[in-house]
Structure 1
Amino acid sequence: MAREECKALLDGLNKTTACYHHLVLTVGGSADSQNLRQELQKTRQKAQELAVSTCARLTAVLRDRGLAADERAEFERLWVAFSGCLDLLEADMRRALELGAAFPLHAPRRPLVRTGVAGASSGVAARALSTRSLRLEAEGDFDVADLRELEREVLQVGEMIDNMEMKVNVPRWTVQARQAAGAELLSTVSAGPSSVVSVEERGGGCDPRKALAAILFGAVLLAAVALAVCVAKLS
């Protein structure tokens, strides 16, 4: 029961972390917006909630001295997968912090493309575009507050990783995989000769009558081509 619960929590954490990773890649791009920053905030908070629950559940199980050897090996594999997922989450949060600081939403920016248009009309258009609505002014503080909160959350995730290593010491190089390395390749290679033999057995030998018909058809075709060439030269 505990193993299934830990697997479900870890699966949810993996999906949430992957979603957060894809969202972080769009920060500073053409799809960057207020909605994206809010979605990033919700996703990382959900990931941290799942991480706290998964960490507490796995820690309680692995600190049980009466746990069987096979069960402990399975939970150690889950622990290694969880720690790797948490490392990726921390790296993406640091990346989001750097990109958010480099590309603020409501700060004045220099246009990347200069059209060269000048005159009274361009001045009026520039003044119209520089006018900020009340809604944007109200939301202008969200960017700064979110970056401060994200900075605190990055430190919290780092502390969680340190506490994990202190409570449960599971070196990653000591955890054994369920199957040998390259098992998929070996199974594919072993299946290759049998498939070739089965194809040869199903194919059978060549039919002499079909071969003779093919030879006769080729000879007639060559004769027709030669006759056409001779007629063309005589004409």
Structure 2
Amino acid sequence: MENILIDKLDQLAIITINRPEKLNALNKATILELHEAFRSLNEDTTVKTIILTGSGEKAFVAGADISEFANFSVEDGGKLAAKGQELLFDFVQNLTTPVIAAVNGFALGGGLELAMACHFRIASTNAKMGLPEVTLGVIPGYGGTQRLAQLVGKGRAMEMIMTAGMIDASAALHYGLVNHVVEQAELLSFAKEIAAKITKNSSAAIAKAIEAINANFEDGTNGYQVEIKNFGACFGTEDFKEGTTAFLEKRKANFK
């Protein structure tokens, strides 16, 4: 791994995008490394939560590496978006291990799209977020037009994308784009506190909940039916036996 760092702390993994000289901009190599990191951590049964952040104090991810696609054709552009969504953005959204984005600075273009693909977001007070693609004569291609509207509503998404403007952490909190805003020095510790709360719960149930919540935003999918199916499936797990037994015995559950 040349562009990312991975730290494992008990049942928590922290992925840090480490290209500070490029403000952690996404290039093909970084996207591939992130895919591999998320894939391997998702398969690691000792990891129950993942935090994603950027190195340094300026940027989470300041965008995509424009030099890689400046001369692309129509066909090349379509393939770039499709491959990126498959390898990383859709992949992270559908990961069965919870992913928290700790947005520690600029999250622009592909950086905001990556943060929005995570299951939820925490921002530092200095964070700035936006989708400035129209200033380059292109639109967000890694799911930004879809996820931003889902998170902040159609009108605000239209305005943010059409003006290419940035919003600060306070506005992002007001819009519902992030769940919490804290001082930068407290960002990782705060994210770890939330991760610890998640870790205490059933990973099997959380995975089913992620799938059911995501189903509500999939065309042609009945989210209620997915919820019913996943609810029933939980009854066949060891976690369900442990959780209900612990409740009846008035003790804390010990999920394996």
Q: Taking structure 2 as the reference length, what is the TM-score of the superposition?
A: 0.24
More relative contact order, 1 or 2 (CA 8 Å, 6+ apart): 1
Q: Which has a greater percent of strand?
A: 2
Question: Which of these two proteins has the greater Rg computed from alpha carbons?
Answer: 1
